[in-house]
Amino acid sequence: MSQPNNRQIHCINPECQRPYPQIWGCKFCSSCGAPLQLNNRYVPLQRLGSGGFAQIYTVWDSQTQTEKVLKVLVEASPKAQELF
């Protein structure tokens, strides 16, 4: 898996006690055990913000070798899922 220059990985598990920094190349979070690569493609680099029912991250797309933005639903209520 290629990487952007000198970046570390951020675990996106909302229950993780130590989401950042994770070592590049690890497949699972050293704190909570959650997968660090999403859909075998996207690697979360940095949390940009949160609000309402979602968190926003910068991710590295290992297929296109570019940075992108990912919005993650963190609220499990049916209404939040409907709006998302």
Residue 81 has pLDDT above 60, yes or no: no
55 vs 71: CA distance, rounded Å = 6
Q: What is the pTM of this model?
A: 0.76
30 vs 12: CA distance, rounded Å = 13
67 - beta bridge partners? 60
CATH code for the domain in which residue 74 is found: 3.30.200
pLDDT tens profile 15-56: 899 998 888 888 999 999 999 999 999 999 999 998 778 889
Alpha helix ranges (H) inside the chain: 78-83
What domain range includes position 53? 1-84
Residue 84 has pLDDT above 60, yes or no: no
Total of domains in the chain? 1
